[in-house]
Amino acid sequence: MDPRFEKYAKLLISVGINVQPGQTLVIRCPVDKAPFARMLVSEAYRAGAREVVMRWGDQFISRETYLHAADEIFDTYRPWDADMLNTLAREGAAFLSVIGSDPDGMNGVDHTRMVRSSRVFGPAVAEYREMQMSDKIQWCIAALPEEKWAQKMYPGVSGGEAMEKLTEAIFSTMHITADNDPVAAWRAHNDALNTRKKRLTEYRFRSLHYTNSLGTDLVIELPQGHYWEGGNSRSAKGVAFNANMPTEEIFTAPKRDGVNGRVVSTKPFVIGGEIIPTFAFTFEQGKIVKVETADPKHRKMLEDEIGVDEGACYLGEVALVPYDSPISNMDTLFYDTLFDENASCHLAFGASYPTVEGGADMTEAERLAAGLNQSITHEDFMVGSADLNITGLTPDGREIPVFVNGNFAF
């Protein structure tokens, strides 16, 4: 195996999840990536992990289940599945997820079955989800190359060559080369993002106004006391970790009922095995009141997604990524949000991260009152373009250019 995978495993264990001596680590990984999972397990024990709990996944089996299992099972869940996640989170475990699967692997599956499943399982794991969303526990998501995924990204070349290209692309976004120290590279990268997020927080913007030539004209108010996140986070115990690798974004939460105007997406939105090339949302007082797509089938899919619960049709994330970010400059569509969100300014509908002062310790009702959206879903969609301008309005009424022509103005 390529020796860079060893470095990658070390990087995920020491910087990504940063497992602590005596801590339990939960690893989720596709079963066909077992050799890499084994490296992660060895590294975790080397770092002093108390126990590594494996959760294997398999896209083929998930697909078979969604296609052929009895219909009523999608309205129920196994209490012990939910209990496992809630208990481990309560005990202070860290959660590392390795992804990498066929973007079309769920094609043909009845999308409403997936929606129904998450509608019952989502609330059952509210405790775990909330500890993750508020960064109380360490969590990290990263990806491994996979053959069908590679062929989708690089059609026209042989399977082996496509895998090589995807492997290169992943290592490049992860700052891993044959002869560097990726841990040091990530330290510098996190420092740069941390500096920018501090600066944005200091402006205490009341709102951001997005415009571009595609027809985006959107005002997003930000809650009082909001702060910007990015780079690495700290758990309730003060342990630094990178929730998403790679990462290029700086983000905060919008004010739930303070979003007005229209936004046009700028990159394909992948959902339930279907690719929606472009769409537009119109907002009134925070709520999505109109969905536009070229294909009515896609409109229905989006409407299902934003109808999954009461909060799903409100925004939960405002993220800034320069049009000239390294991942954007690769000009490669990964068909996976983990990467594609780092190539473009984006928004998410659904739950917000509690990025207001004291937010992590607020009750659900207090968060709502602070303007933070709640939902069982959280889906990023891309809105960045080469001509995107974003103007911030400060509490004393000054207009500050934040983005000019797709990039940070400062």
- State in angstroms the smallest separation of the CB of 16 from Zn ion: 16
Please pick, from the candidates 319, 356, 372, 376, the single residue that binds Zn ion as defined by CB under 5 A. Answer: 319
- State in angstroms the smallest separation of the CB of 253 from Zn ion: 11
Total residues interacting with Zn ion, rule: CB under 5 A = 6
Residues 337-356 that bind Zn ion (CB under 5 A): 341, 348
Minimum CB distance to Zn ion smaller for 40 or for 200: 200
- Contact, 238 vs 228, CB < 8 A? no
Question: Quick one: three-class SS letters along the chain?
Answer: CCCHHHHHHHHHHHHHCCCCCCCEEEEEEEHHHHHHHHHHHHHHHHCCCCEEEEEEECHHHHHHHHHHCCHHHHHCCCHHHHHHHHHHHHCCCEEEEEECCCCCCCCCCCHHHHHHHHHHHHHHCHHHHHHHHCCCCCEEEEECCCHHHHHHHCCCCCHHHHHHHHHHHHHHHCCCCCCCCHHHHHHHHHHHHHHHHHHHHHHCCCEEEEECCCCCEEEEECCCCECCEECCEECCCCCEECCECCCCCEEECCCCCCEEEEEECCCCEEECCEEECCEEEEEECCEEEEEEECCHHHHHHHHHHHCCCHHHHEEEEEEECCCCCHHHHCCCCCCCHHHHHHHCCEEEEECCCCCECCHHHCCHHHHHHCCCCCCCCEEEEECCCCCCEEEEECCCCCEEEEEECCEECC
**Separation between Cα atoms, residue 312 and residue 174, nearest integer Å:** 31
Minimum CB distance to Zn ion smaller for 43 or for 248: 248
Minimum CB distance to Zn ion smaller for 130 or for 341: 341
Q: Near Zn ion by CB under 5 A, which window of 152-160, 233-241, 271-279, 314-322?
A: 314-322
Q: Near Zn ion by CB under 5 A, which window of 221-229, 320-328, 377-385, 388-396?
A: 377-385
Residues 72-131 that bind Zn ion (CB under 5 A): none
Minimum CB distance to Zn ion smaller for 20 or for 244: 244
Minimum CB distance to Zn ion smaller for 244 or for 293: 244
Minimum CB distance to Zn ion smaller for 41 or for 319: 319
Q: Residues 129-158 vs Zn ion: string with x where CB under 5 A?
A: ------------------------------
Q: Near Zn ion by CB under 5 A, which window of 287-295, 315-323, 356-364, 395-403?
A: 315-323
305 binds Zn ion (CB under 5 A): no
- State in angstroms the smallest separation of the CB of 249 from Zn ion: 5
- State in angstroms the smallest separation of the CB of 323 from Zn ion: 16
- State in angstroms the smallest separation of the CB of 106 from Zn ion: 20
Cα-based distances in Å from 199 to 190, 195, 205: 14, 7, 11
- State in angstroms the smallest separation of the CB of 80 from Zn ion: 29
Residue nearest to Zn ion (CB): 319
13 binds Zn ion (CB under 5 A): no
Minimum CB distance to Zn ion smaller for 11 or for 345: 345
**Separation between Cα atoms, residue 51 and residue 319, nearest integer Å:** 35
- State in angstroms the smallest separation of the CB of 373 from Zn ion: 12
Please pick, from the candidates 380, 382, 385, 390, the single residue that binds Zn ion as defined by CB under 5 A. Answer: 380
253 binds Zn ion (CB under 5 A): no
- State in angstroms the smallest separation of the CB of 52 from Zn ion: 27
Residues that bind Zn ion (CB under 5 A): 249, 317, 319, 341, 348, 380
